[in-house]
Amino acid sequence: MEVLSYYNPTRFLGLVPKIKTNMSEWWVVDVALTGETAHNVGYITLKLKEFFKGRDGAIFICNRKNILVFAHLGNEVCSDTLSHDLHGKMPKYSCAANISEATTEGLSKMQLRLGDIVKDVANDPVLSSPLFQTRKERKEKIFMVAEDDMFMRSIVTKNFEPRGKVYEFPHADGVVETYLEHLPDIVFLDIHLPSNSGMNLLQEILSFDPSAYVVIMSADSVKENVLGAKKSGAKGFLAKPFNKERLDEFYGKCPSIDVNAV
């Protein structure tokens, strides 16, 4: 199941002809986050991706409160059972899902709806990101560091703890899920981590949130690593060992942080 972002519905709309050839086997899931939930749209998207794992289709993040899913589930699906199972996998009271079979009329309405979303997006897709807006409007600042070297990790933590909450990881496990649950303003990823690489984590995070502010760290600052990190979507490269001043540079450049705020 592919996750698609708010500003590029081309792939999502590209599914429409495919759906129309086998309409009875496709389902539309319209998810709305509730006002009671503490979870953001990125985290709910992750849970939807886990629920529909292995299924053909796409998940489209519309805005901070709405997600659309096209899923190829077959023609023997009971909507009531699907709804019950889906809500059972979501965080309690986090969202409501309207599940219906795909129809020609419904697809036409979806196309119009997605077209309106694209028109509302500004020239800068990062600033238009619903996840970026969540970070921008949040009072608390949140940071994340995934680094297996305890000393390097502690430098990052000690520098940012006075400014907000810091999530630490000595490995890659749980990094993406924690990112989507808490939406840190800045993420520092070591290029080499136990069980995965920082570059792989970067790509997975960006697949959910193209506006993520991720910095890749490495003791090997050869040109290939620096250019590779930036080409892959990282906002910067941090050569190890580093000092407080270098960390402060990224803090000052982060677009979701107002350095002049009291």
SS3 250: helix
Which residue bears the tokens 């897709």?
A: 125
pLDDT of residue 141: 94
244-253 helix and 150-160 helix, angle to the nearest 10 degrees: 50
pLDDT of residue 195: 84
Count of CA atoms in the C-beta half-sphere (13 A) of 259: 8
Contact 125, 44 (CB under 8 A): no
pLDDT of residue 250: 93
pLDDT of residue 190: 92
pLDDT of residue 262: 52
CATH 3.10.50.40 fits 2-120, yes or no: no
pLDDT of residue 120: 54
CA dist 29 and 67 (Å) reads: 8
CA dist 78 and 100 (Å) reads: 10
- Where are the domains positioned within the chain? 2-120, 130-253
Rg of the chain in Å (alpha carbons): 20
Which residue bears the tokens 């519309």?
A: 62
Side-by-side strand order, sheet with 57-61: 2-4, 57-61, 66-72, 26-33, 95-101
CA dist 186 and 67 (Å) reads: 25
CA dist 240 and 181 (Å) reads: 28
Give yes or no on whether 2-120 and 130-253 have one common fold.
no
pLDDT of residue 143: 97
Which secondary-structure segment (H or E) carries 258?
A: none
Q: Which fold has domain 130-253?
A: Rossmann fold (3.40.50)
Question: Which of 158, 153, 144 is closest to 202 using CA atoms?
Answer: 144
Low-confidence ranges of the chain (pLDDT < 70): 5-12, 35-38, 113-128, 221-222, 261-262
SS3 146: strand
pLDDT of residue 186: 96
